[in-house]
Amino acid sequence: MKKFDFARTAPMPAPVQTAGPTHRTTAELKLRKGAGRHYSVQYLIPQSTPVYLLRVSGLWASVQHGQTFGWLPAQCLERLEAPRRMPQVPVRPVASQSPVGSAAVGGAASAPEVPDEDFIPTHRSTADLNLRKGSGTNYPVLRVLAANIQVRKLDELGTWAKISTGKDIGWVPSAYLARINVSRPSTGIQPMAPTEFTTTVRLNVRKDVGDHFPVLRIIQAGTLVKVNGKLGPWRRILLDQETGWVPASQLQLRYVASTAPVTTTATTLYRGASANYRALAELGAGEQLEVIASRGQWTKVRAGNLEGWVHSSHLG
């Protein structure tokens, strides 16, 4: 059974044989092909990544990261107090499943199982994949994941993705992951009688409570929606065949008056809910209006062909 994980086709330079990394990065850095910002970037190296320092040229340091050679800003490296043994290039396990916690080839121990009590899958594997200890084919294989296994994506580095299976954490090629719809019912929802609101901005309707859930659709500012539930700062709205969630701060209650109000005195119709907005028209006393919405001490009304805001104290 073939396993996919981006095998390299071009011969690579032999890694320097050392006792282990000598320095680590103090920030997220771009590994460049030469000593200067005009050289192309090979990939990003996260903060606190161990590397082996080869030499320093001016403000730049030549380093080895895994089996890749490149240049980093020398001021962004700090020496490791206790160098660790450099990972050896592994041999692919013969068995289809490698028990987590068993000794890996070359004497390096595999990462222990890391249970994820709040495991929520975000992707699925599209092929059989080697789950590796790091973001590269030079890292040991922890286990083999079958196709269509649901996983949670934790991080991404270049063409590699850090994932959790609920028990194990490792790296796989991100090209072989497909996003899935997160399905996790929210708890503690307070039902509401369907109430009409209008959106104040263009916003995303989420599948569940939180910005990390998938977007069902995008609705424009001024859209009339019906709210039938709430949970914390989020509101559940009714869509065509399902429900979605939006922040309560991006909704305003739509008021429908039983009788059309009239102006009790001459007042100004403004573009927004404040006297700081541009004036649209001057309304005389006794003009009949149609209420559209309300915000604080201001009411949005329709006066003929104009829509704007007047101070609520001028309506009766």
Which band of pLDDT confidence, cut at 50, 70 and 90, is reported for residue 156?
confident
Q: What is the pLDDT of residue 17?
A: 47
pLDDT band at 270 (very low <50, low <70, confident <90, very high): very high
pLDDT at position 97 is: 39
For residue 151, give the nearest of 172, 134, 175 by alpha carbon. 172
What CA–CA distance (Å, rounded) separates 13 from 65? Answer: 12
Domains recognised in the chain with CATH numbers: 23-79 (2.30.30.40), 105-179 (2.30.30.40), 190-253 (2.30.30.40), 267-314 (2.30.30)
Q: Is residue 222's pLDDT more than 70?
A: yes
Average pLDDT of the chain, as a whole number = 77
Q: Burial-class residue 182 by CB neighbours within 10 Å (0-12, 13-18, 19+).
A: middle
Closest CA to 132 of 117, 118, 142: 142
Q: What is the pLDDT of residues 59-106, one digit of tens each?
A: 888 888 888 889 998 888 888 875 444 444 343 443 333 333 333 333
Phi/psi at 235 (nearest 5 deg)? -125, 140
Give the pLDDT band of residue 131 (cuts 50, 70, 90).
Answer: very high
User: Which range in 210-214, 226-230, 257-261 is most confidently predicted, on average pLDDT?
Assistant: 226-230
CA dist list (Å): 279 to 15, 127, 269, 273, 276: 72, 62, 6, 11, 9
| Residue indicated by tokens 């039938």 | 228
284 phi and psi angles, rounded to 5 deg:
-85, 170
* 17 CB-side CA count, 13 A: 0
**What is the C-alpha separation between 62 and 70, in angstroms, rounded?**
6
- Judge contact between 216 and 208, C-beta under 8 A: no
- Closest by Cα among 268, 254, 253, 255 to 303: 268
